[in-house]
Amino acid sequence: MKVINFKDGQFDTAKTILVLGYFDGLHKGHQALFDKARELAKAKNATVSVLTFPENPSIVFDKFHENLLKHLTSYDKRLALFEANGVDFLYLTEFTSHFAKLTSHDFVRDYVKKLQVEAIVVGFDYNFGSDHGDISKLSGYDTYQIAQVSDESGKISSTRIRKALLDGDVSLASQLLGYDYEVAGLVVHGEARGRTIGYPTANIETKNYQYMPAIGVYVVDIEVADTRYRGMASIGYNDTFGGENKTLEVNIFDFHDEIYGEMATVYFLKFIRGMVKFDGVEALIDQMADDERVARDY
């Protein structure tokens, strides 16, 4: 897959199926669009292209809060998901105040017409331009609007996934995404208390603006140097020891190597319990033994 900054003007000249949208997380609802795009590309002997934004368009319209900068995937994971979904060319453009003022006619003229578009694929609720144009504004193109994808609880959406994560329901989040929710980061030194009680942890510090699941203890897998291990993760403040900083710590089962400075990816599989402040270290150790049994049996 080739990643292209749209303003650079280096457009591919092959005929292409263009998919439009923001695509935070590339969940099952989004994947339906790419299924159709691949089908069309095969039938029309075309490539698949996406025109999207690196950041949430809401930044331009809403009062700022930190969640506006957060994503369901890291930048690298998002690229990998686009490629896995058959995208050949990923065109990125900044969503700015200037961009937001473009009408649907302007958008078609300045963006869509720059590509050799054979067909366009959009979601059921897609609109664009300052005039909130619908697919009728794309009348010059063969356009496919994909129906809403739902489960027994309703529409599959990024909003539902974010809520599930903030509620600690990582199982539901992964179910809606179609893959295990993950957070990647650097292994750094922590307080080293875990090793003193028989549960050494890898402290993960992430620079990615991603949603972190709710405070609690989770069954996880962790990938280090292309090898995946089972473990249990704690997200919280180490209340028992009077901690003040929120941390992500992973006890990796049957693992004894030192991996400081290495990148690790944590895959959240199941919520075990909320965070508890214990009366003493022995009570904490007993609870962690129970947590480990749950995680190993998962």
Specify the pTM. 0.91
Per-residue pLDDT 10s for the chain (298 aa) are: 999 999 999 999 999 999 999 999 999 999 999 999 999 999 999 999 999 999 999 999 999 988 899 999 999 999 999 999 999 999 999 999 999 999 999 999 999 999 999 999 999 999 999 999 999 999 889 999 999 999 999 999 999 999 999 999 999 999 999 999 999 999 998 765 656 566 889 999 998 899 999 999 999 999 999 999 999 999 987 644 444 467 899 999 999 899 999 999 999 999 999 988 777 778 888 888 999 999 999 9
Cβ atoms of residues 180 and 159 within 8 Å: no
Contacts with 259 (C-beta within 8 Å, 6 or more apart), sequence order: 187, 202, 224, 225
How much is the pLDDT for 101?
Answer: 97
Pairing of strands 89-92, 2-5: parallel
How much is the pLDDT for 240?
Answer: 45
- The phi and psi torsions of 256 (rounded to 5 degrees) equal -130, 10
How much is the pLDDT for 74?
Answer: 94
CATH numbers and ranges of domains, the chain: 2-151 (3.40.50.620), 158-297 (2.40.30.30)
* Residue 82 DSSP code: H
Closest CA to 227 of 200, 254, 247: 254
How much is the pLDDT for 279?
Answer: 72
Closest CA to 272 of 248, 292, 252: 292
How much is the pLDDT for 243?
Answer: 47
For the chain, the first-to-last Cα distance in angstroms comes to: 36
Burial (Cβ within 10 Å: 0-12, 13-18, ≥19) of residue 250: buried
Calpha distance 154→177 (Å, rounded)? 14
